[in-house]
A and B are shown apart, each in its own frame.
Chain A
Amino acid sequence: MNAAISIALKDLKLLLRDRAGLFWVIGFPLISAILWGAIFSGSGGGGVASKMKVAVVDLDKSPNSEAFIVDLEKSDSIAVLRHTQEEAATLVRRGKVVASLTLKEGYGADSGFGMVTGEGSNKMELALDPARRAESGMLQGMLMQAQFENLRNKFSDRTKMREMLSSSLGDLQGDTTIDPKQRGLLTNMLGGIDKFFEQADQSILDSGPMGKGTTTPTIPEVAVTREADPNKPKNTFSVTFPSGLMWGVIACVSAFALSLVQERDKGTLLRLQLAPISPAAILAGKGFACFTAMVLETLLIFAIGLLFFDVGVRNLVFLAIGVLSSAICFSGIMMLICGISRSERVVSGASWGAMLLFMMFGGGMIPLIAMPSWMLKLADFSPVKWAIYAMEGGVWRPLSAAELVPTWGLLLGGGIAAYSIGVYLFRKSLWRT
C-alpha cells in the first residue's frame, strides 16, 4: 500500500512539473467552462452586446437633433451607433443593427420634433430589420420616451418656447389658406401662450406636467423577485462547469496512460519491477495517481465555479459520489488504454482519439441540455455523458438518489471492469513467462 502511494505521489509530482500537461488538466477545462458559460449566458461581449444596437443618422446637424441623440445614448437599452445614411442602410440589411433612425433636415426646427406633423412631412424615419419585428415595438417605445424628454426640455426653456411661438405666429400670418376668423382665434391663443412664457415664474415652468423637475410618466413597477426554477440550472455556468471539467479528466487519462507506457519504454518500470512490491501495487499506484489527479482537478474547478461563477451545489453528497465514481471510471479507462497499447504513439493516439469521440457525443463539447435527441441517444454509449450526468446530479439536476444509483453503478462497474481488463493485458505484455 505504501509503495502504491509512493508511486502515486511521484506521478503527481511529475504531473505538477509538466507545465503543458498541467495546462490541459486544469487551464483548458477552466477556459472551456468559462467561455461556454459566458457565451450561453449572452454576457460574453459585455454591456454593448446586451443592448439593442441602433444606427442613427443625423442629417439635420442641429442642436436639437444632437440633444436627442445624446439622450438616446444615455439609454440603458439602446446602443447608438452614429453612421452615414448609406452605412446605416447596409447595417440594417446585414442584420448588424436592429434598426436605423434618420433625423431628417429640419428636425430641430420642427415644432413637433418629427412626430406630430402631418403625414409625409415627418422629420424622423425608422428602418427596421424585418427579421426582428419583435424588437421594433420595444424600440418605438424607447424612441417615444426620448422624444418626450426632448419636448419637456423645450417646454421648460422660456427662450426656446417663445422663439418657436414667434415662428409659428409668423407662419400663421403668412398662410392665406386659413379662414381669417380662425386665424384670429389662433393668433390670440398663441399670443396668450407667448405672454404666459414671458411673464410666468420659472418655478411654474419647472413644476408643470412638462416641467424640467418632473420625470417621464411611467406605469409604477412592483418589485418582483424571480423564483429560480428548481428543475433548471442556476445559471449557464452550472451546465458548462461539469462539461468543461471533463476536458481535464480526459487529459488525466491521456497523461497517465502515457506515463505508464513511458515508464516501460524508458526503463523505469524495470526498476519498479525489481523492487519488492507486487505488480498489482505498481499498477494500483498508477491508477491511484490518475484517480487522485482527476478528483483534485474536479474539486479545483468546482471550487472556482462556486466562488466566482455562482455554480450552485444542489446536493454535496451526490456531487461527491458523482466525482468519485467518474474518477474511478476514467482511471479504469486509462488502464485499459495502457493494456491495449504497445507504444507511446499508440497511447497518445488512442487516448485522445477515443476520448474526443466520447467528449463529442457525451456532452463535453455540446452540453447535454442543448443536444438534439438523436445525439442524446448516441451519448448513452459515452462514459463522458454518464460522468457529466452524475456530477450534474449534485449541481442542478433534480434527481433523487434512486434515480442516480444506476448512473453511479454504471460508472463504477465500467471503471472496475476496464481497470481489470487493462491490468490483465498490461501484466501479460510486461511480465513475460
Chain B
Amino acid sequence: MKRNPSPVTRHPSLVTRRSSPGSFLRAVAAITWKDLAAELRSRELLSSMLVFALLVILIFNFALELDVKTRSTVTAGVLWVTFAFAGTLGLNRSMAVEKDRGCLDGLLLAPVDRSAIYFGKAISNLAFMFIVEAIVLPVYSVLYNTNLFNLGLIGVILLGSVGYVAVGTLLASMAVQTRTRDVLLPILLFPVVIPVMIAAVKASSGFLQGVAASELMTWINLLIVYDVVFVAVAFMVFDYVVEE
C-alpha cells in the first residue's frame, strides 16, 4: 500500500544495524508515524475514546450535583477521571492491535533498539490522549458553562498525560500478553498512577480557581518528578516485557 512514502520509512538507516542517536530517533518517529497514519485512516481508536469520554461526562452530570457552586471545586476531578478512563481505553486498544495483528513481532524483528518501540508507542498514545483532551475541554466548557481555556490547566494536562501514558504504555504491553488482557490494565495502572492523579487534580483545580502558579509549584514539581522517574524506568525495563 503505497501512499506518499515519507522520507522516514524509506530511509536506509532503518535497515542497517546502527545504534546512532539519529537512527534511534528515526525508528521512534517511524513507529509513531505508523500509529498515527493507521489511526487517521480507520479512526476507530479516537472515535471510541472520544465517545467514551463524552459519555463519562454525561454520567457525571447525573452522578454528581454539578450545580454552579460545586462545579468550580469538582471540575478538575471530573476531567481527570474522564481522561484516566478514556486513556485506559486508548492504551488497551493501541497495544491489542499490535499483538493481534502480529505487528509487535514484526517490530521486535526490526534492527532497532527495543526502547525505540517503547518511545514510539508512548508518543502515539500520548498524541491520541492529547487529541481526546483537546476535544473534551471545549465540550465540557460548553456543556457546563465553565471557561476551561486556561494556560496553566493545559500545562498540567500535558504533564499529567505524559506520566500517565509513560507508565500506561509499559503496563499495557504486559497486560495485553496475559489471559485477562483489557480488564487487567486498569487494575495494574490505577494504583501506580495515583500520584499523577493527585498532583494533576490539585494543580488543575488551583489553576481553574485562579490561584497563582507559584503556589502550585509543589504539584507541578511532583508531576515533573513522576514523569522523569517513570519514563526513565519504563524505557529501561521495556526490554524485559517484550522479549520472547
Q: Is B truly associated with A?
A: no
Chain B residues near A (Cβ < 8 Å): none
Chain A residues near B (Cβ < 8 Å): none
